Amino acid sequence: MKLQLNGVMTDTQATTLADLLQAEGLGEAKVATAVNGSFVPAAARTMHVLHPGDSVEVLAPMQGG
């Protein structure tokens, strides 16, 4: 399926957000996720089904002051 990951068109076999993160090497990373502009908490990623054309954003936390 084709979807956008951080603004880049990507072809993936992942069916859930958790599967996509695992496939991208981010399965254990502490990241924030959103699909089509809506925040998806870590606890909901295994149940969040992806669809062709979805826009997925994965953001790493930043430290600063």
CATH of the domain at 50: 3.10.20.30
Query: What is the mean predicted confidence (pLDDT) over 45-61?
Result: 96
Q: Is residue 65 a part of any domain in this protein? A: no
Q: Are the C-beta atoms of 52 and 20 separated by less than 8 Å? A: no
Residues 48 and 65: their CA atoms lie apart, in Å, by 33
Higher-pLDDT residue of 28, 53: 53
Q: Is residue 64 a part of any domain in this protein? A: no
Higher-pLDDT residue of 23, 65: 23
Domain count, the chain: 1
Q: Is residue 25 a part of any domain in this protein? A: yes
- Tell me how far apart the terminal alpha carbons of the chain are, to the nearest angstrom: 40
Give the confidence band of 62 by pLDDT, cuts at 50, 70, 90: confident
Q: Is residue 12 a part of any domain in this protein? A: yes
**What is the span of the domain harbouring residue 10?**
2-59
Please, what is the average pLDDT of the chain? 95
